[in-house]
Amino acid sequence: MKLKASEFIVKPGREVSLKKTKTGVKPLYKTDADGDELLKEIQKDIAEHQQRLYAQSTWAVLIVLQGMDTAGKDGLIKHVLKDVDPQGCSVTSFKKPSGEELKHDFLWRTHTPMAVRGEIKVFNRSYYEDVIVPYVMPEILDSSRLPEKIRTSKNLLKDRCEDIVSHERYLANQGILVIKIFLHLSKKEQKNRLLARFDDASKNWKVEEADITARGLWDKYQKAYEFCLSKTSHKAAPWYIIPADDKPTARLIASKIITEKMAELNLDFPKLKSAEIKHLKSLRKRLKD
């Protein structure tokens, strides 16, 4: 599969226009079976990278997923990371901040579940919600417990973006590879996926009024994401915008980006020192007794 992560990167300083960014591309597979085989190959690559990541236990990987409702975040996690060892991978989903979380700074709730050395961590939504949601619904800040001077500042969201960039640079300096993926879905395809949830009894439980309400604010959300993607794509943690109208294609692109970025870490299994090898041989000898 001839594909490079750089094809989907948001270069630092670029002003993002989602209207000018494709939500669909020519499928990367000829048949469904062909697509499955391509994904299996990359799943194995990611699993191998993860084994080395876990064994080396120096680097960590944080995958940040953002996108409109039904963009395919859950499915991407399920399919792309299918073969990784559960001991070295975990997922945290971020919802509306709790009362306890509102007592702290907006990044606080992401500290405890942050990726640890040797682990792949996935944030299904993230601290970016604290920019996106207030951009669309400024009134939500009324319950934020921020001092009025800060809460009403015109630069609040711009400042938060700067805080996030500084935070991600800090993470990078601690050996955490941050991979940020935005699943770019069209309004038409979102409607089809929402209708499928209504029409399929096994998916009825996924229907939430909030999804329909958010759809009514589609244009505002697009502007919010444009603002966020433009302000927070930087060298240490650039954004990747993936066309998400076709789920298998989106998963192939995401998996390619992940394996390509992990390959750049040059991960390998720990090399034993001569004394350790000698000790290993003595243990093996004892095992024969």
pLDDT of residue 206: 87
Quick check: 101 and 108 in contact, CB under 8 A? yes
pLDDT of residue 1: 64
Q: Is the pLDDT of residue 285 over 90?
A: no
Quick check: 182 and 66 in contact, CB under 8 A? yes
Q: Model-level pTM greater than 0.75? A: yes
Q: Is the pLDDT of residue 235 over 90?
A: yes
Coil, strand or helix at 116: coil
Domain map of the chain by residue range?
Answer: 5-288
The pLDDT > 70 percentage for the chain reads 99
**In angstroms, rounded to a whole number, what is the distance separating the alpha carbons of residues 11 and 124?**
23
Question: pLDDT band at 232, cuts 50/70/90?
Answer: very high
Q: Which of 109, 104, 108 is nearest to 93 (CA)?
A: 109
For residue 206, give both structure tokens. Answer: 């996924």
**In angstroms, rounded to a whole number, what is the distance separating the alpha carbons of residues 197 and 208?**
10
Mean pLDDT check: name the lowest of 223-227, 240-244, 269-273, 285-289: 285-289
pLDDT tens, residue by residue, 166-217: 999 999 999 999 999 999 999 999 999 999 999 988 989 988 888 899 999 9
Question: For residue 125, what are the CA distances in angstroms to 51, 138, 155, 241, 268?
Answer: 25, 19, 23, 15, 30
Average pLDDT, the chain: 95
Domain boundaries 5-288, corresponding CATH code: 3.40.50.300
Q: Is the pLDDT of residue 90 over 80?
A: yes
Q: Is the pLDDT of residue 2 over 80?
A: no
Question: pLDDT band at 68, cuts 50/70/90?
Answer: very high
**In angstroms, rounded to a whole number, what is the distance separating the alpha carbons of residues 185 and 196?**
16
pLDDT of residue 125: 97
Q: Is the pLDDT of residue 149 over 70?
A: yes
pLDDT of residue 210: 86
